Amino acid sequence: MTKVINVENIITKFGNTLIHDDISFSIHKGEIFGILGGSGAGKSTLLRQLIMLQKFQSGNIQILGESLRGISHKTAHTLRQKWAVLFQFGALYSSLTVLENICLPLLEYTELPKGLIENMAMTKLSMVGLSGESAYLYPSELSGGMKKRVGLARALALDPELLFLDEPTSGLDPASAEAFDKLIVELRDMLGFSVIIVTHDLDTIRSALDRFIVLHNKKICFDGTYDAAINSDMTFLKEFLKAN
C-alpha cells in the first residue's frame, strides 16, 4: 500500500506550551483515517498543520511524496489543488450562491466551459444528497447540515486525492450523521480518495473509520482499528471510546 501522508516526529509548541511531543504516523491510499482525542488534545492543530495552515517546530510531514518542510510556493500551490478541506462550519463564501460556491474552484483552476462546469456542480450537489432547488440559495439560507453537504460538494469539485474533514458530523442529527458517514464511505469506494477525519462521533468511529490514532498527553496513545482498540487493555482508551 502506498503512503499518501507520512508524519515523522512532529513537535508543536504554542509559546512554552507543548501541544504535540514527537508524533509519528502514516496514512495509506484509499484509507478513511481518524484523528481522535479529548478536547484540547491538539486534533485541529494537527489537521491545520497537515493542510499547511500552521507551522510545526520540528519533525517533518510528507504529503503525496512532497515534504512540507521548506516547501516551495509552486509545489505548495499544486499540492493544494490535490486536496480539499471541509471546515467544521462549512466555511462557504457568504456572498455566493450554493451553485457559485461549488463552481468557484472549477472556474479558478480549470479552463472548462461554463456549461460543463455548471453541469458538474449540479452533479456534485446531487452526490451529496441535495436537490437542484438549493442551487440558488445563499449560505445564510441553509441549515447547518445543508451547509456541510454543500461544503463537501465544493470540496469534491476538483476530484481531490485527499479529503480533510474537521468534525463533519458534529451538529447533525443522528440520522443525518449516519447518512453523512455512509456518503463518505460510498464516495471513497467510488472515487478512491483518502479521507482524514477529525471526529468525536462514536458512530463515525465505529462505522466509517478504517483506522485511527488517539492523541493523549501530547502523544499518540493508540494507532489501529476500532476492533483493536476495544480489545486493548488500555483503560484510558476504553473509557474514551465509551464516554464519547
Partner 1 sequence: MQRIQIQYLNANNLKVLIGNDWTKESLSNANTIEKEFLNLVDKTIIFDFINCLTIDSAGAVEILWIKNHLIKDGCKITYVNIDENHSKLLSFYEKNLQDKPQFSKKEYLFIERIGKWIIEGFQGVGNFLSFVGEMLFALLKLIISPWNFRFTAFIKHVDTSAIQAIGIITILSFLIGLVVAYQSAGYLAKVGADIFIVDISVMSVFRELSPIITAILITARSASSFTAEIGTMKITEEIDAMRTMGLDPFIFLVIPRVFALIITMPFLVFIADMAGMAGAYLVSHFQLGISLNDFIDRMYLEISVNELYVGLGKSPIYGAIIGVVGCYRGFQATGSTDSIGKLTTKSVVSALFWVIICDAIIAIALTKLGI
Ligand X SMILES: Nc1ncnc2c1ncn2[C@@H]1O[C@H](COP(=O)(O)OP(=O)(O)OP(=O)(O)O)[C@@H](O)[C@H]1O
Residues that bind Mg ion (CB under 5 A): 44
Subset of 20-49 contacting ligand X (CB under 6 A): 37, 39-45
- Among partner 1, Mg ion, ligand X, none, what does residue 168 contact (CB within 5–8 Å per kind)? none
Rg (CA), the chain: 18
Three-class secondary structure assignment of 31-87: CEEEEEECCCCCHHHHHHHHCCCCCCCEEEEEECCEECCCCCHHHHHHHHHHEEEEC
Q: At closest approach, how far in Å is the CB of 132 from partner 1?
A: 4
**Is 203 strand, coil or helix?**
helix
Q: Which distant-in-sequence residues (6+ apart) come within 8 Å of 97 by Cβ?
A: 135, 136, 137, 138
The span of 9-17, 92-100, 170-178, 219-227 binding partner 1 (CB under 8 A) equals 92-100
The span of 13-21, 114-122, 170-178, 196-204 binding partner 1 (CB under 8 A) equals 114-122
Residue carrying C-alpha cell 504529503: 63
Our finding on whether 207 is near ligand X (CB under 6 A) is: no
Nearer to partner 1, 58 or 123 (CB): 123
Would you state the cell numbers that stand for residue 128, as one nine-digit string?
Answer: 451529496
Q: How many residues at the interface with partner 1, by CB under 8 A? A: 34
Our finding on whether 204 is near ligand X (CB under 6 A) is: no
- Among partner 1, ligand X, Mg ion, none, what does residue 111 contact (CB within 5–8 Å per kind)? partner 1
Q: At closest approach, how far in Å is the CB of 241 from partner 1?
A: 33
**Is 173 strand, coil or helix?**
coil
Q: Are 127 and 154 in contact (CB under 8 A)?
A: no
Nearer to Mg ion, 80 or 200 (CB): 200
